Structure 1
Amino acid sequence: MRRFLPDSIAARTALTIVVALILTQLVSALLYLLDRPEGPPVHSPRVLVERVTAIVQLVDATPAQDRPRVVRAIDDPVLRVTWQTERPALQPAREGAPRTLLQRRLRSELGDPKREVLLEIRRHGPHPGPPLPMGPPDEPRWTHDMRLYVALADGSWLAFASGEPMEGAFRLLRFGLWMAGIVGVIALLSVWAARRVTAPLARFAGAAERLGVDGEAEPLPEAGPRELRAATRAFNRMQERLRRFVADRTQMLAAISHDLRTPLTRLRLRAELVDDPEMQRKMLADLNEMEAMITATLAFARDDAQREPRGPLDLADLLQSLCEDRGDAGQSAAYQGPVHSVVDARSVALRRAFANLMDNAIAYGGGCRVRLAEEEGQVRVEIDDDGPGIPENQREKVFAPFYRLDPSRNKDTGGVGLGLSTARTIVRGHGGDVTLANRKEGGLRATVTLPR
């Protein structure tokens, strides 16, 4: 059954209310029908005869000047009653056993075997209708086409007509329509109320998603029921603590990197005083590599602290520009994809991320081929090279800061190991991701996905 349930809390809450309402209505309808096995009185010929007899006796005993008021009080939608002074002009009709039985039973109840009782069947067609349909011998059927006229003692007449079209065949239909209307109104109110209750949950989920993309997102407003307000308050405190934690670590990293420059400078001066040329060369090479690592770390910390604002960015134009820059420098870089593709991003940070990925492909694969594709809700950028690829068990490790596959850590063979880490950090900060995979044709493919 879980497969058929809606996913959202609002829909499930509304469905629960509506199902409960429908079950309540069905039970009420069942009790109503079981409690009234005979149906409305007008459908029972015995009750009809007794009722007509009582009305005739009452009106017959009422003075003529009061009869209109009495008849109006008796008249109802189930059995229509009118009083008239003229003899009714009836449509020609055929005699039949049910007609005779009804007349005889009325005269017997009235105690007047000579009382005039006229029965008319009105048809909408040009010819009189067939004889009255037969039922049980002592139970003539009363239909909405029948009109009954009973003479009073003073020569006036009482006319009776069945309200069956209003209270008979359409009674259950009207009941069903009323129930459907009530269920519809309750369903709309339930959906509205459920959405009002679950709206803070949707905002809470959106804030959690933004926190993973933008650490500087605004705190979530505390609204909704008490439990949701408490959860929102805890979420805002967690967001603030995470922001302070990241800021403190970034500031500490920048401070350490900056302070290391002074001892490096002293070491470089002392290395110049070394008499052994080979030893001097090795010491200066190590110092240069350490300085490159510190420079890269400072650049990473500065970029993280800048908090560049986001805005519309033509990603296709950015990628083409990066490829052209590398082509002008004599490197192999080609672009394939649409001329324009706009995303919401930080232009400087994203340029650095793609530059790192492309430079990595050129350094290890001799060149790069960049392909941009637009998909539903996101864009995909694939950067291919013809290098040796990366072993499967190393593809996640290479994203760690300062991790390099080349154990020599020579700056001439691939930098200090911050390029891929920086690229993934920037892309994930935009709500996307960077993955690596070896191509079947050989070489490595770096895939970048970004939301549109």
Structure 2
Amino acid sequence: METARKSRLLVARRWLRLPDSIAARMALTVVLALLLTQAVSALVYLTDRPEGPPVHSPRVLVQRVTSIVQLVESTPVPERTRLVRAIDDPVLRVEWERDTPRFKTDSVREGFPFDRLRRAIRNGLDDRDRQVVIEVRREPPMPGPFPAEDHHWGRDVRLSVRLNDGSWVVFAGGDPLEGPFRLLRFALWMAGIVAAIALVSLWTARRLTAPIARFAVAAERLGVDGEAPALPESGPRELRAATRAFNRMQARLARFVADRTQMLAAMSHDLRTPLTRLRLRAELVEDPEMQRKMLSDLDEMEAMINATLAFARDDAKREPRGPLDLADLLQSLCEDRVDAGHQAVYEGPAHAALDGRPVALRRAFANLMDNAIAYGGGFTVRLRPEDGPSSTSIATSIVRVEIDDAGPGIPEEEFEKVFAPFYRLERSRSRDTGGVGLGLATARTVVRGHGGDIALANRPEGGLRVTVTLPR
């Protein structure tokens, strides 16, 4: 029994499963929306439509009045009250009175089109002398209460027909709000249809676009965190195929970075050994000047190798992200440089929360500040939290850090070139100032790894401005 029940559940789930294609799902959505519209429209038609011809039309009114008068007239007097109660309805109020009703002189109507209605009732009763009194308690907005095109019977109109025994049957219109309420119900039905279709469409659209949104976020995250987990393969067939290709690409990139790091680690081992031997041999050189030059070249080579390995290993990528206070980090960097005898000024809030890698960001901003000190003699750093779009769609709130120096600046055509590894400006950034040309490249790698970016600009008053934007 249990096995049979599980088998039935599996079959039911297979039948209830959504189509595997985006096109099929979109078609199913349209079909379901149309079916829902038709079902609700049919429900409105079956439950809210009147039975038979419009009861307010003059023709139907005359037929009902004459039929009721004939029926009451043929009924014994003791049974007439009960009969009238059974006939009475909210659309056409019916009363039977033994005595002649009190007619208000100013409300009794004569002439066209009232005579036309009297004549139609008398013809229906086959009695041209039948007394028919029509009262209108207020002037109707139309020229006459019963023109041929008017299908409304209001409660302000009262029609009295005298029976053969001297009693009267009195007819009055129903609640005049029946018409507005009918329109209101129809409007509410239509609003319900629209709301239902909107909810179904919204729910279906969100179900269809959720995998696409996750795919977009994962693509953005890949540029920020190369070690992000693989994206779950869900959704229609096309999206699963795209997700599978994306995960393979991410895995290949991770393997490429790992292979590059391993290769550079091996190179560092192989290069350090001959450098050590050369340093030992340089110590045996008897010429002091030659020995100094050789050791200087070896120091420069070792510095370049160390900087290259630090840049390639990208230690910041493996550092876990976490909350940090960017304002405190910048202030501590400024204080360190002031303690070293350099000019460094911080302007900004005392605290600014940020999610990032503390060691990597410290290295990036330290490179930018040291660069400003080396070529501008000092710097001023400004921190400004802002609300606006970042370079990715992951965050919309950003922090902007500006580092100004008083140096010679950089030609605009060199703005992008200076971020290339080992690129140097001979005139404004000479070799004598130190460094191997990896400071800006390392800083931009770290900042872009956080989803931000770095921009350069020459200040009108002189000097270079480095602007760093980071998502919060």
TM bin, normalised by shorter chain, reads 0.7 to 0.9
TM-score normalised to structure 1 length: 0.79
Aligned residues with identical type, % of pairs: 71
The equivalent position to 1:82 in structure 2, one of 94, 97, 104, is 94
Determine if the alignment matches structure 1 residue 394 to structure 2 residue 414. Answer: yes
Aligned residue in 2 for 1:107: 122
Separation in structure 1 between the aligned mates of residue 158 and residue 429 of structure 2, nearest angstrom: 110
Q: How does 1:9-408 map to 2 (within 5 A)?
A: 41-58=54-71, 60=73, 77=90, 79-82=91-94, 84=96, 86-87=98-99, 89-94=101-106, 95=108, 96-97=110-111, 98-121=113-136, 123=137, 129=138, 134-135=143-144, 142-152=153-163, 158-163=169-174, 165-166=176-177, 168=179, 171-172=182-183, 174-304=185-315, 307-376=318-387, 377-406=397-426
In the alignment, structure 1 segments of 5+ residues that lack a partner are: 1-12, 33-38, 124-128
The amino acid that maps onto 1:324 is E
Compute the displacement of 1:352 (Å).
0.7
Distance 1:115 1:273, change over 3 A: same
**How far did 1:212 drift?**
1.3
Structure 2 Cα separation of the partners of residues 427 and 132 of structure 1: 77
What are the superposed Cα offsets for residues 408-451 of structure 1, whole Å, 9 maximum, x if unpaired?
99875221122111111111111111122222222222111111
Deviations 1:129-168 (A, max 9, x none): 4599754998697543112233456666544333472554
Change (3 A) 1:173 1:365: same
- AA paired with 2:238? E
Distance 1:132 1:149, change over 3 A: farther
Give 1:178 shift: 3.3
Aligned partners of 1:197, 1:410: CA distance in 2, in Å? 57
Deviates more, 1:39-48 or 1:292-301: 39-48
Contact between 1:254 and 1:301, CA under 8 Å: does it hold in 2? no
How far did residue 62 of structure 1 move? Answer: 6.2
Structure 1 counterpart of 2:124, one-letter code:
E
Give the stretch that moved more between structures: 59-68 or 393-402.
59-68
Instruction: Give the Cα separation in 2 of the matches to 1:296 and 1:396.
Output: 21
**Paired letter, 1:92:** K
1:444 equivalent in structure 2: 464
1:421 corresponds to: 441
Distance, in Å, in 1 between the alignment partners of 2:82 and 2:192 is: 37
Cα separation, 1, equivalents of 2:373 and 2:212: 47
Distance in 1 (CA, whole Å) between partners of 2:73 and 2:222 is: 88
Letter in 1 for 2:407: G
The letter for the 2-side match of 1:253 is L
Q: Write the distance in 1 (CA, Å) between the matches of 2:178 and 2:185.
A: 9
Q: State the Cα RMSD in Å.
A: 3.8
Q: Structure 2 vs 1, CA of residues 132 and 168 (structure 1 numbering), >3 Å: closer, same or farther?
A: same
Counterpart in the other structure of 1:434: 454
SS in structure 1 of the partner of residue 469 of structure 2 = strand
Q: Distance in 1 between matches of 2:72 and 2:292?
A: 132
Change (3 A) 1:386 1:258: farther
TM-score normalised by structure 2 residue count? 0.76
Using a 3 Å threshold, how does the CA distance of structure 1 residues 409 and 111 change in structure 2: closer, same or farther? closer
CA contact (8 A) 1:83 1:156 kept: no
Shift of 1:172: 4.7
1:403 CA drift (Å): 2.1
The Cα of 1:173 is off from its aligned counterpart by: 5.3
Indicate conservation of the 8 Å contact 1:378/1:449, yes or no: yes
| Shift, 1:362, TM fit | 1.0
Asked whether the equivalents of residues 380 and 404 of structure 2 are also in contact (C-alpha less than 8 Å), the reply is yes
Amino acid at match of 1:423: A
